[in-house]
Structure 1
Amino acid sequence: MEDWRRIDIDALDPENARLTAADLQQPLLTTLPTYTIQQVQQQISQLRSFGSSGDTLSAVRLITGSPVYLTDSEATKQQYLLAVLDVLCQARPTDIANIVKQLSNDEADVLTKYLYKGMSKPEGAKQGAVLLSWLDKVIEKNGTGSIIRFLTDRKSV
């Protein structure tokens, strides 16, 4: 009989499946839509029209309703992020609290992703005070749950 102290019992456990990075990415790729450059350009033009008309709530609903997770290129994602930052920075400070109150928890989570992504870019760092005021209102509404979900979610904007 073999030395029973050297048996790897974890390898025999069917509940202990060893997942690779490809296994973890596969469900993500099959469930998320890939946006083309034309689709992203349409969303950018809608965002700019909402921003120029002062309808920030509709713009935020568009941003959070169909987030751009997968695109043809990273440059397309960057263009969309810049349009999102423009709209968020155009909001009046008094309107931010009212807009965030009208968002669902899922929409607030997506908004948190865009806020953190924006603050990590030089363009967003210039408007850091505005983005932090958005984040402050999200935290007032949802607590720190949106931040925790942002940190643990595999889907990035």
Structure 2
Amino acid sequence: MEDWRRIDIDAYDPESGRLTVDDLKPPYPHILTLQELQPAIQQLRSYTSSGDFSAAVQLITSEPPYDADEQAKSQYLTGVLEVLTQVRQADIANIIKQLDRKQQDALIKYLYKGMSIPEGQKHGGILLAWFEKLTQVAGVNPIVHYLSDRRTV
């Protein structure tokens, strides 16, 4: 006789709803294109050129383009790297202290993404300085949230 402790009784129940991988993915209402994301990129460049890095980081982290296509995300990430690499190291901690928990989570995603591409690796020391200050202010919570969140920047 078969080992009765290993029988999957849900397989015999017709009303048992099995979840697929697609069922576990969060629904995104609309995929942003580069044209729709262009005003945010222009605003980001405007803050950067005027030297208002605190407002630029607030903009970056307040509404990350999780639901954008890959080309739009790439262009936005280029603007994000421009902002992060121009901030003086003395100002990094003050800017991070102004961010709430969700904004810190978004910032860590940008840092990891930036360190994974060649453009960000050129400025690896600056991104690591951001990473260090962020972990000093927020601890390891943003790292844990990054590892457990499916949304990417």
Q: TM-score, normalised by structure 1?
A: 0.86
Corresponding residue number in structure 2 for 1:41? 38
Secondary structure of 1:61's counterpart equals helix
Q: Is residue 22 from structure 1 mapped to residue 19 from structure 2 by the alignment? A: no
Match among 78, 89, 96 for residue 74 of structure 2: 78
The CA distance in 1 between the partners of 2:64 and 2:95, in whole Å, is: 18
Partner AA of 1:126 in structure 2: K
Corresponding residue number in structure 2 for 1:69? 66
Corresponding residue number in structure 2 for 1:54? 51
What CA deviation, in whole Å up to 9, does each residue of 1:44-89 have, x standing for no partner?
A: 1111110111111100111111101122x31221111011000110
The CA distance in 2 between the partners of 1:7 and 1:99, in whole Å, is: 55
Alpha carbons 2:32, 2:72 under 8 Å: kept: no
Q: 1:108 to 1:7 in 2, by over 3 A?
A: closer
The CA distance in 2 between the partners of 1:85 and 1:70, in whole Å, is: 19
Unaligned runs of 5+ in 2: none
> Following TM superposition, where does structure 1 have runs of at least 4 consecutive aligned residues deviating by more than 4 angstroms?
none
Percent identity between matched residues is: 47
Secondary structure of 2:28's counterpart equals helix
Alpha carbons 2:85, 2:127 under 8 Å: kept: yes
Partner AA of 2:113 in structure 1: K
1:1-157 correspondence to structure 2 within 5 Å: 5=4, 8-9=7-8, 11=10, 18-25=18-25, 27-30=26-29, 33-71=30-68, 73-157=69-153
Alpha carbons 2:111, 2:127 under 8 Å: kept: yes
Q: TM-score, normalised by structure 2?
A: 0.88
Q: 1:89 to 1:10 in 2, by over 3 A?
A: farther
Q: CA RMSD in A?
A: 2.1
